[in-house]
């Protein structure tokens, strides 16, 4: 089958207001200081599509943006990165979500969401917008718009019927709470699911990464990748178990590291790489992302990642 694109990323699009080095001690009755503040296009679908395009994949995005300044910022970043934006849905009734993120000196972060994050668009109503690619990446499984079992099953069924590889990135729920059992019919339709350690612990109820992965596998997912941050990553399926340490870097901001990881993994799988080689490449993409503020700042190209891997092998 001929596909128009290599990958389509579907899910939430938003603006990240990133505050780095926040000082909780007020300098006046209502004033505080921080080292820096910036506005960045964000959301898993955005971060993953931008990274995938930089890695050389023909990339599209299916997301919803408001007809507002925040939506213009996101759309502009996507276009500059070479992402096909023809599938974006824009609305005057629903604002583009804005997330405020506080980034600590070690790169860890906390975020504040608001009501705009719960607005669901219905990707299941537009199968022609997400089935024209070799792979579909679901940004933010368990968050809008993928916090509705009916929507999840409909989208994944259409994707598998069209022959797509399905990669599902996950998030902790924020407004609507689902369990693995709630989407048990959808999980066998997922080729790779990619929770981070906190998400894997939450949904599995387990403490050890291997046991976390087993909980997803027992629900029919083909392969599980647990992103372990500074401890590396784990890929487990019925056939293999691969554990990699984290790359040695000086982290500045972990925002979007997991999204760059997912895009990196998709990049290599779609080029025919083994799971082991794709995991190694993805691990490097996530590490590179943390070396600058913002999810789409540090990663530049596939060649950059390959050179980074050569340097780490020395």
Q: pLDDT tens, position by position, for the chain (314 residues)? A: 678 999 999 998 999 898 988 888 999 988 999 999 989 899 999 999 999 999 999 999 999 999 999 999 999 999 999 999 999 999 998 899 999 988 887 767 788 887 777 777 899 999 999 999 999 999 989 998 999 999 999 999 999 999 999 999 999 998 889 999 999 999 999 999 999 999 999 999 999 999 999 999 999 999 999 999 989 999 999 999 999 999 988 888 888 899 999 999 999 999 999 999 999 999 999 999 999 877 788 999 999 999 999 988 77
Q: CA-to-CA distance for 41 and 53, rounded, in angstroms?
A: 15
User: Going from the N-terminus, what domains does the chain have, and what CATH number goes with each?
Assistant: 5-22+35-313 (3.40.1190.20)
> pTM of the predicted model, to two decimals?
0.91
Q: Which two tokens stand for residue 17?
A: 């207001």
What pLDDT is attached to residue 109?
A: 75
Strand partners, 235: 225, 242
Q: Which two tokens stand for residue 80?
A: 């500059």
Q: Which two tokens stand for residue 221?
A: 């997912």
Please give the order of strands across the beta sheet that includes 233-237: 59-62, 5-10, 133-141, 165-170, 192-194, 223-227, 233-237, 241-244
What pLDDT is attached to residue 107?
A: 67
What pLDDT is attached to residue 117?
A: 78
Please give, one letter per residue, the 3-state secondary structure of 103-154. ECCCCCEEEECCHHHHCCCCHHHCHHHCCCEEEEEEEEECCCCCCCHHHHHH
What pLDDT is attached to residue 221?
A: 98
For residues 14 and 43, the answer to whether their CB atoms sit within 8 Å is: yes
Distance between first and last Cα of the chain: 41
What pLDDT is attached to residue 118?
A: 77
Distances (CA, A) of 46 to 53, 125, 148: 11, 20, 20
CA quadruple 50, 73, 125, 175: dihedral sign: positive
In DSSP notation, 182-240 reads GGTTTGGG-SEEE-BHHHHHHHH--SSHHHHHHHHHTTT-SEEEEE-GGG-EEEEESS-
Kind of pairing between the strands at 109-112 and 98-103:
antiparallel
DSSP state of 181: G
């Amino acid at each position: 089958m001929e596909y128009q694109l290599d990958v389509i990323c579907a899910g939430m699009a938003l603006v990240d207001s990133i505050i780095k080095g926040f000082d909780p001690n007020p300098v006046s009755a209502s004033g505080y200081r921080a080292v820096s503040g910036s506005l960045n296009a964000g959301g898993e679908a955005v971060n993953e599509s931008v990274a995938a395009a930089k890695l050389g994949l023909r990339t599209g995005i299916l997301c919803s943006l408001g007809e507002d300044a925040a939506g213009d910022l996101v759309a502009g970043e996507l276009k500059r990165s070479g992402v096909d934006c023809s599938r974006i849905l824009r609305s005057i009734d629903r604002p583009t979500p804005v997330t405020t993120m506080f980034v600590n000196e070690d790169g860890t972060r906390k975020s504040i969401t608001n009501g705009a994050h719960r607005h669901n668009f219905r990707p299941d109503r537009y199968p022609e917008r997400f089935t024209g690619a070799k792979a579909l990446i679901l940004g933010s499984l368990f968050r809008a718009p993928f916090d509705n079992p009916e929507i999840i099953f409909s989208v994944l069924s259409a994707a598998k019927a069209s022959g797509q590889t399905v990669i599902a990135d996950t998030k902790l729920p924020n407004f609507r709470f689902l369990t693995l059992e709630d989407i048990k019919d959808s999980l066998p339709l997922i080729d790779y699911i990619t929770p981070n350690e906190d998400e894997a612990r939450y949904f599995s109820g387990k403490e050890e990464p291997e046991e976390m992965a087993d909980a997803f596998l027992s629900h029919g997912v083909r392969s599980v990748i647990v992103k372990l941050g500074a401890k590396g990553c784990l890929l487990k399926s019925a056939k293999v178990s691969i554990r990699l340490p984290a790359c040695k870097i000086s982290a500045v901001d972990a925002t979007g590291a997991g999204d760059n990881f997912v895009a990196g993994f998709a990049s290599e799988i779609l080029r025919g790489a083994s799971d082991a080689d794709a995991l190694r490449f993805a691990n490097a993409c996530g590490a590179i992302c943390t070396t600058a503020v913002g999810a789409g700042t540090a990663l530049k190209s596939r060649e950059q990642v390959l050179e980074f891997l050569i340097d780490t092998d020395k």
